[in-house]
Structure 1
Amino acid sequence: MRADVDSWPTGRLLSVAARMVEARFDDFLAGLDLTHAGLITLHHLADGPLPQRELARRSHVTDQTMSRTIERLARTAHVARTMDPADRRRTQVAITPLGTAALAAARDEERRSDRFFGAVDDYDHFRDQLIRLIETAADR
């Protein structure tokens, strides 16, 4: 396989690697009773509670999509919802201890496991390069 992969264009390498890592990571997250969307939501809640609408904005999804994500996270006890005391029409969402533990486990697995990015020589450099690639592509 190595000889075949060596001949691939870089775009194909990136696409295949992304699909393979995503599929493996989805399997890992399922073991934590999480989805990728749920993990993104927990990431945004790590620094404190947020209104549902703000979570949707930060996650770049609709309010309706975020509502479904939060509903699932609440069912699995990764988040807790409360009414905002300043505005009872708004829902505040907070990460629970179970959600914090799941987020930490996912971050650790992503960084250290040789099934994911632990397989690269320099995780931080690789991550910086991906961010740069995304920012450059987004500017066009």
Structure 2
Amino acid sequence: MTDDLESWPTGRLLSTAARLVEQAWESTLRAHGLTHAGLVALHTIADGPRSQREIARACRVTDQTMSRTVEHLERSGFATRTVDPADERRMRVRITESGYELYRAMIELERTDAQPTAVVSDPATLRSLLIELVRSAQR
């Protein structure tokens, strides 16, 4: 497979590289008792409690998916759920101290992890090119 990489279209190379980076990051998160969805949910509640529906909307997932994610975060001690005093039918999700510590540690690790660019001679240029590629796709 790797011997014909030179002939691969750029899109396939980018897609494969993205999957490899994503798999490595998911492995790191799993080692800390998190999933990507859990990290995104923690990010959403890091500033303060929100309803499960608000978190699901912010994460662009279904309420059911977020319910499972929040259950995992709660079992792991990273979040708590309480009844919303303004509407007793709604649950508010709050990050715990240990959840916040883990969230900050993962964000810092994500910012400083050189693994995806360790083999690149100029990581800043690669990053700039990727940013431009994403920006152009959003236009």
Task: Provide the TM-score with structure 1 as the length reference.
Answer: 0.83
Structure 1 residues 98 and 30: CA distance shift in structure 2, 3 A: same
Give the 3-state SS of the residue equivalent to 2:123 in structure 1.
coil
Is the deviation greater in 7-16 or in 91-100? 7-16
Q: 1: CA distance between counterparts of 2:84 and 2:95?
A: 15
Structure 1 residues 78 and 131: CA distance shift in structure 2, 3 A: farther
**C-alpha displacement at 1:14, in angstroms?**
1.2
1:135 is matched with which residue? 138
How do 1:1-140 residues align onto structure 2 when only pairs under 5 Å count? 4-116=4-116, 121-122=123-124, 125=128, 128-129=131-132, 131-136=134-139
- Structure 1: which amino acid aligns with 2:85? P
**C-alpha displacement at 1:41, in angstroms?**
0.4
**What 5-or-longer segments of structure 1 have no aligned partner?**
none
RMSD: 2.4
Structure 1 residues 124 and 10: CA distance shift in structure 2, 3 A: closer
Q: Which runs of 4+ in 1 moved over 4 A?
A: 1-4, 117-120
Task: Provide the TM-score with structure 2 as the length reference.
Answer: 0.84
Q: 1:14-59 deviations in whole A, cap 9, x for unaligned?
A: 1011110111111100111001110110111121111111011111
Structure 1 residues 65 and 16: CA distance shift in structure 2, 3 A: same
Identity %: 46
**What 5-or-longer segments of structure 2 have no aligned partner?**
none
Give the 3-state SS of the residue equivalent to 1:111 in structure 2.
helix
Q: 1: CA distance between counterparts of 2:83 and 2:12?
A: 47
Structure 1 residues 81 and 41: CA distance shift in structure 2, 3 A: same
**C-alpha displacement at 1:95, in angstroms?**
1.0
Q: 1: CA distance between counterparts of 2:89 and 2:2?
A: 57
**C-alpha displacement at 1:82, in angstroms?**
0.8
